[in-house]
Amino acid sequence: MIAPRTPAVRFAVIFAGLGLVTVLGCGDQSGLPTRYPVSGKVTFKGEPVEKGTISFIPTQDSGRPATGEITNGNYSLTTATPNDGALPGSYKVTVISKELDTTKLKEIAKGGQFHHDANFAKATKNAKNLVPARYNLADTSDLTATVEAKSSTINFDLKE
């Protein structure tokens, strides 16, 4: 004969079930759907892009942008938490890679950060593009990507 379940046993079973649903149902506290790891390489003229930023801009209104730092040609995307990847969908892709004259910036920043200073803006505006400027904007970049519901490697070879 099966022993009757006491209220304490029922409570423990319900509590354990709710805990399991909570753990399985949520990957993080962002409230976003599941993101999938996306990483890859960015090259220009066959060489790794030394530094910069890559951005995946969703083509659907329901999407969320994802960005990543480019270091020695490699990147990994972040949507909400570091390296959490991107939501599945189609994206326009931008790449910004610039060389700043940090000596001028250091002079401007003496005694504090003056990133809203006109001289600071001028110094950053005059930064040298390390990749063609057309890749800086979604409207002029011809780069696109599709993120699937799985871990993906997406490489980009930038042209002149």
Q: State the Cα–Cα distance between residues 31 and 114, nearest whole angstrom.
A: 35
In a domain, 128, yes or no: yes
DSSP state of 136: G
Give the pLDDT band (50/70/90) at residue 127: confident
pLDDT of residue 113: 57
User: 67 vs 104, which has greater pLDDT?
Assistant: 67
How many domains would you assign to the chain? Answer: 1
3-state secondary structure 53-90: EEEEEECCCCCCCEEEEEECCEEECECCCCCCCECCEE
Residue 11 included in any domain: no
Q: What is the CATH number of the domain that holds 122?
A: 2.60.40.1120
CB 86 within 8 A of CB 56: yes
Which token pair is 120? 């600071």
Contacts of 87 (CB under 8 A, 6+ apart): 32, 33, 34, 35, 36, 58, 63, 64, 66, 79, 147
Domain that holds residue 53: 33-158
Report, as an integer, the average pLDDT of 51-60: 96
What pLDDT, on a 0 to 100 scale, did the predictor assign at position 26?
A: 45
Taking residues 113-118, what's their average pLDDT? 61
Is 16 contained in some domain?
A: no
> What is the pTM (predicted TM-score) of this model?
0.72
